[in-house]
Amino acid sequence: MTDTSMPSLRQNPRPRNSRRGRGTLVAWLFIAPALLFYTAFVLIPISMTAYYSLLRWNGIGAMQFRGLQNYLTVLTEPDLLTTIGNAFQLVLYFTVLPVGIGLGIAQVIRTHLGGPFGTTARTILFIPQVIPLVAAGIAWSWMLASNGVINQLLSAVGLGGWTRGWLGDFDFALPAVGIIGAWVLLGLCTMLLVTGIAKIDPTLYEAAKLDGASGWDEFVNVTVPGLRQEIGVCVTVTVIAALASFDIVYVATGGGPGGVTNVPGLEIYRLAFAHRQVGLASALAIVLMILVIACILPIQWLMREPRK
Amino acid sequence: MGVTSLKAIGVVAALSVSALSATAYAAPTCGADPVVLNSYFETGFPLPTRLAEEFTKQFPNVTFDIKEDQFANLMENSPRVLAGDNAPDLIRLPSISDLVVDGLLKNLDGYFTDFGWDKFPASQLVQLRINESGRPRGEGSLYSMGLNYSLTGVFYNKTLAAQIGMTAAPQTLAELDALLEKAKAAGIQPIQEWNAPNAGLAFPLQNLMGAYGDPTPINDWIFQKPGATIDTPANLQATQHLEKWIKAGYFPADANSLDYGANMGQFIGGTGLFLFNGDWESGNLDKQMAGNAGFFLMPPAVAGAKHAAMSAPLTYGIGAKAKNADCAAYFLNWVATNEEARKINVAVGGSNPGGPPDLPIPAVAPGSVTEATLTAGNVLAGDNGAMDFIANATGAIFAEGWTPPLQLLVGGRTDAAAVLKAVQAEYEKQLAR
């Protein structure tokens, strides 16, 4: 027995190692295509941007090494800092409104709009998400123009004194851009939250009802905690959309009037292609990336599932 | 085969006769072999394409591979397009400074001699010259040519003008002020002007600058001459005058949300008395406001003084890596000198076709806006009052220098002095980077 078992004991580790080695190789082969694309289209461009941020370069001519001078410009130039401030204001509209309204809609669909009505409502609410941002920006620009439908509606209900060219108004241009973003992102948030709410155990709602909970109590104590992960995804996606916004602002206002809607995304584009200051544009891009990560990491930490 | 040979002989003969008659001896031609001119034009302006079609009609061996882009995209893409392997033979160039520094544009001095462009008025080509180091502009070698030479001034709606008793173009700034006041009192929008996404108010402002002062310091600033400033006493007077117009409510209340297209639509629709714009709209207005649109040069502040206005070439260049540079240059010369090309230029482009001064300007319909703008061009040339556009001083001065403060000014958020200071600061910052 011993003689027969010993060899097998001695031989076993080799095939196990070999299997493990083969497994690792197979795993790498599975990962390789994605890793290749990720490296080519994410890691290398980020590294190149970081490298360009240390240069003075117009994109065509000779490069000059500037060290951290471009970063110093980004952090001390009031105009560039203002764009970052504008982006944070957009978070209010791009994140708070869609997530807040999306939660409300999800609750209403769960309680009142079952069956085909719910499906129809979900489809209609998701439509903004499939419309290209540029198209949304153009459509809203027409609606918010002086003779657009928004002002026509205000005049029709006796609020003619409020009519204005919304996207050209110093006080309302940024909120108007924010509303466009909120409209676009509402579809995504609603879809995620409606899908998430359907997964919450119905017995929790029954238990809450038996305990005499009101609709609000159900919402706060069952729905919101049950949607923790979905809310986390919504907040993450919308905060990134706000901080890295470009399309809607470019189409709707071009950063005006007087720069009140200018955002880092637009400024990066202008610095690189109009000013031809690729180094400074890259430095602003890196600063924006760090800011986005700095905002997203705490959100991820807050929204993670509590350990059981 | 026989027909092809005959055609080829015909083409060679036509080219030879045309070349000898219009240009100096041994000037480059397009030859007789098939040539495809790689062309990069501006979207929304049919003139170059119409000229290309006529050129192919006259020289069947030459065809055009035309790509088009919006003005802003041209500004942004031209360096990379010119640096590429398939660099255009002909390219619309909004700005040439950076391109020359990077060696992306062909120096046209050779063609200047070959084609006898020294017979063109020197003032016509001055904006197209640039020092090899990229600044200043207005001197040095020739790096581009104008397809035509546009002019800005004041268009007006004849029906609305009649309503306020305007029977002739104002001769002084004070007379223009009086007309604006009358229009406001009559409930007519005095000036129909856009100010988004870029500042259309730069048009009335530069016209006011021309009314108050000599265009030379403004050109020096645009050409980036050392020590040049836009913040001069005359320009301050002009900007203060603009501010006065804003405070009087002469511009649309929603100017900051009104873009070029919407503004033109409103003017053509009859909502405004005056419009500060360029003669590239003459043909359009002749068609869409037939008989109801007029044009005058901005009157000077002092009676009898000289006129000054923005007048700039529709700039086209040849890529340094162009494969058919000679043919492209021949095309540019043909545009300025060929009778049919000049007719198309005026009919479609609405602007002065330039070229040698002894060539007549093609006839246009009497009483048309095009006739008025062409006549105004002659007046301006006589007064030596042409200025380049203040928005062309640097590649980004329009978007980052002029637009934000002029939007603030029309919104009542800043004053005239601060506008000029802000623009000068941005200008210096851009030149320093």
Q: Residue B63 is encoded by which pair of tokens? A: 């065809």
Q: Touching check for A175 and chain B: CB below 8 Å?
A: no
ipTM, two decimals:
0.81
Please report whether residue A308 resides in a domain: no
Domain residue limits at A25: 2-52
Q: Does A139 touch chain B (CB under 8 A)?
A: no
Task: Give the chain B residue whose CA is nearest to the CA of A269.
Answer: B76
The minimal CB distance from A165 to the residues B79, B104, B257 is found for B257
Return d(Cα B385, Cα B356) in angstroms, integer.
Answer: 19
Record the pTM. 0.85
> Between chains, do A60 and B80 touch, taking CB under 8 Å as contact?
yes
Is any Cβ of chain A less than 8 angstroms from the Cβ of B404?
yes
Q: What is the per-residue DSSP string for chain A? A: -HHHHHHHHHHTHHHHHHHHHHHHHHHHHHHHHHHHHHIIIIIHHHHHHHHHTTEE--SSS--EE-TTHHHHHHHH-HHHHHHHHHHHHHHIIIIIHHHHHHHHHHHHHHHH--HHHHHHHHHHHHHHHHS-HHHHHHHHHHHTSTTSHHHHHHHHTT-GGG---GGG-TTTHHHHHHHHHHHHHHHHHHHHHHHHHHTS-HHHHHHHHHTT--HHHHIIIIIHHHTHHHHHHHHHHHHHHHHT--HHHHHHTTT-STTTT--HHHHHHHHHHTS--HHHHHHHHHHHHHHHHHHHHHHHHHHSPPP-
B254 shares its domain with B299: yes
Give the strand pairing for B145-157 and B90-92: unpaired
pLDDT averaged over chain A? 88
Q: Are residues B127 and B167 in the same domain?
A: no
pLDDT of residue A12: 53
B250 min Cα distance to partner chain A (Å) = 17
* Cα Dmax for chain B: 75
Mean pLDDT of A194-221: 89
B193 and B302 in a single domain? The answer is yes
Instruction: Examine the domain organization and report whether B289 and B329 are in the same domain.
Output: no
What tens digit of pLDDT does each residue of B305-320 get?
Answer: 999 999 989 999 999 9
Average pLDDT of the residues in B254-281: 95
Name the residue with tokens 């009335």: B204
Which is more confident, A241 or A303? A241
* pLDDT digit string, tens, across residues A79-89: 889 999 999 99
Q: In chain B, what residues touch A280 (CB-CB under 8 Å)? A: 433
Phi, psi (rounded to 5 degrees) for B180: -65, -40
Q: Does B93 map to a domain? A: yes
In a domain, B183, yes or no: yes
User: Using CB atoms, which residue from A61, A167, A274 is nearest to B76?
Assistant: A274
- Do B287 and B382 fall within a single domain? yes
Residues B111 and B246 in one domain: no
B101 vs B8, more confident: B101
| Model pLDDT, residue B21 | 43
Which whole number is the average pLDDT over B149-163?
Answer: 96
Share of chain B above pLDDT 70, in %: 94
d(CA A7, CA A138): 77
Predicted confidence (pLDDT) at residue B20 exceeds the cutoff of 80: no
Tell me, yes or no, whether A117 and A243 share the same domain. Answer: yes
**What CATH number is given to the structural domain containing A233?**
1.10.3720.10
How does DSSP classify residue B392?
A: G
pLDDT-derived band at B1 (thresholds 50, 70, 90) equals very low
Residues A17 and A150 in one domain: no
Residue B411 to residue A170, Cβ atoms within 8 A: yes
B293/A138 Cα distance (integer angstroms): 30
**Predicted pLDDT at A141:** 92
Q: How many CB pairs below 8 Å do chains A and B form together?
A: 99
What per-residue confidence (pLDDT) applies to A303?
80
Q: What is the pLDDT of residues B392-420, one digit of tens each?
A: 888 789 988 999 999 999 999 999 999 99
DSSP A165: -
Q: What does the pLDDT read at residue A113? A: 65
Strand residue runs (E) in chain A: 55-56, 64-65
How far apart (Å, rounded) are the C-alpha atoms in residues A75 and A175? 25
Question: Does one domain contain both A81 and A214?
Answer: yes
Q: Is the CB of residue A142 less than 8 Å away from at least one CB of chain B?
A: no
Evaluate whether A57 touches A67 at the Cβ level (below 8 Å): no
3-state class (DSSP) for residue A65: strand
Q: Are A287 and A74 in contact (CB under 8 A)?
A: yes
Structural domains of chain A, count: 2
pLDDT tens-digit map of B201-239: 999 999 999 999 999 999 999 999 999 999 999 999 999
Q: Average pLDDT of B235-251?
A: 98
Nearest CA in chain B to A58: B98
Q: What are phi and psi of B41, to 5 degrees?
A: -110, 175
Domain with B198 in it: 152-311+371-432
Find tokens 């807040």 and name the residue.
Answer: A100
Of B75, B101, B197, the CB nearest to A256: B197
Residue B45: band (very low, low, confident or very high) from pLDDT cuts 50, 70, 90: confident
Whether the CB of B424 is below 8 Å from some CB of chain A: the reply is: no
Q: Is A180 on the interface with B (CB under 8 A)?
A: no
Residues B214, B308: Cα–Cα separation, whole Å = 8
Q: How confident is the model over A264-284, as pLDDT tens digits?
A: 999 999 999 888 899 999 999
**B253 lies within 8 A of chain A by CB:** yes
- Angle ∠(A220,A226,A227) on CA atoms, nearest 5: 95
DSSP class per residue in B32-96: SS-EEEEEEEETT--HHHHHHHHHHHHSTTEEEEEEEE-HHHHHHHHHHHHHSTT--SEEE-S--
Residues A158 and A205 in one domain: yes
Torsion angles phi and psi, residue B402, rounded to 5: -85, -40
CA distance A81 to A59: 24
Is residue B360 one of the residues assigned to a domain? no
Q: Please name which of B422, B321, B433 lies closest in space to residue B38, comparing C-alpha atoms.
A: B321
| Judgement on whether residues A81 and A225 belong to the same structural domain of the protein | yes
| Model confidence band, residue B248 (pLDDT cutoffs 50, 70, 90) | very high
Do B190 and B238 lie in one domain? The reply is yes
Residues of B in contact with A165 (CB under 8 A): 253-254, 256-258
Does residue A106 belong to any structural domain of this protein? yes
- What average pLDDT does the segment A205-209 reach? 90
Decide if A169 is inside a domain.
Answer: yes
For chain A, the residue count is 308
> Which residue from A minimizes the CA distance to B402?
A258
pLDDT for the residue B251: 98
Q: Do B136 and B97 share a structural domain?
A: yes
Q: For residue B39, what is the domain's CATH number?
A: 3.40.190.10
Co-location of A139 and A258 in the same domain:
yes
Instruction: Measure CB to CB from residue A275 to each of B80, B403, B430 and give the nearest one.
Output: B430
Most confident of A195-199, B75-79, B229-233: B229-233
Q: What is the rounded CA–CA span in Å between residue B400 and residue B378?
A: 34
Residue B341 near residue B300 (C-beta atoms within 8 A)? no
End-to-end CA distance of chain A: 48
Query: Do A48 and A133 fall within a single domain?
Result: no
Write down the residue that tokens 């070349």 correspond to.
Answer: B19
Quote the number of domains for chain B: 2
In angstroms, the Cα distances linking B329 to A214, B142, B326 are 81, 12, 5
Q: Give yes or no for residue A7 having a pLDDT over 50.
A: no
Across the interface, do B79 and A145 touch by the CB < 8 Å criterion? no
Cβ-based neighbour number of residue B140 at 10 Å: 17
Residue B365 included in any domain: no
Residue A4 has pLDDT above 80, yes or no: no
In a domain, residue A17? The reply is yes
Residue B75 pLDDT class (50, 70, 90 cuts): confident
Q: Are residues B306 and B421 in the same domain?
A: yes
Give the C-alpha separation, B209 to B205, whole Å. 6
On the question of pLDDT at A28 being above 80, the answer is yes
CA proximity to B397, closest of B352, B359, B347, B433: B433
pLDDT band (50, 70, 90) for residue B19: very low
Q: Are B169 and B296 spatial neighbours (Cβ–Cβ below 8 Å)?
A: yes
Residues 6+ apart with CB under 8 A from B326: B28, B29, B30
One domain for residues B118 and B170: no
Pairing mode, strands B141-142 and B129-130: antiparallel
8 Å CB contact of A257 and B405: no
Would you say residue A69 lies in a domain? no
Provide, as residue numbers in chain A, all residues whose Cβ is less than 8 Å from the Cβ of B395. Answer: 274-276
Regarding whether A141 and A97 lie in a shared domain, the answer is yes
Residue B45, domain member (yes or no): yes
Predicted local confidence at residue A248, as pLDDT: 93
Within a domain: A57:
no
Task: Evaluate whether residue B358 is within a structural domain.
Answer: no
Residue A66 domain-assigned (yes or no): no
A146 vs B: CB within 8 A: yes
Q: Are residues A196 and A256 in the same domain?
A: yes
- Say how far apart CA B157 and CA B372 lie, in whole Å: 14
pLDDT > 70? residue A210: yes
Count the Cβ atoms, other than its own, within 10 Å of residue B122.
9
Cα B54 from Cα B61, distance rounded (Å) = 12
One domain for residues A209 and A146: yes
- In Å, how far are A35, A48, A288, B235 from A42, measured between CA atoms? 10, 10, 16, 49
Q: Please give the average per-residue pLDDT across B57-61, as a whole number.
A: 97
Same domain membership, residue A289 and residue A244: yes
Same domain, B304 and B329: no
Q: Do residues A211 and A298 both lie within one domain?
A: yes
Least confident of A162-176, A274-288, B16-30, B404-418: B16-30
CA B369 to chain centre: 17
Q: Does A164 touch chain B (CB under 8 A)?
A: yes
Residue A68 forms part of a structural domain: no
My answer on whether B145 and B292 are in the same domain is no
**B82-96 mean pLDDT:** 91
Residue with tokens 């791009």: A94
pLDDT, residue B271, reads 95
Nearest to B98 among A56, A276, A280 (CB): A276
User: Rounded to whole angstroms, what are the CA distances from B67 to A240, B59, B81, B88?
Assistant: 36, 21, 11, 9
> Cβ contacts of residue A217 below 8 Å, gap of 6+?
A208
The residue of chain A with its CA nearest to that of B81 is: A60
Highest mean pLDDT (candidates A97-101, A219-223, B384-388, B390-394): A97-101
A59 reaches B (C-beta below 8 A):
yes
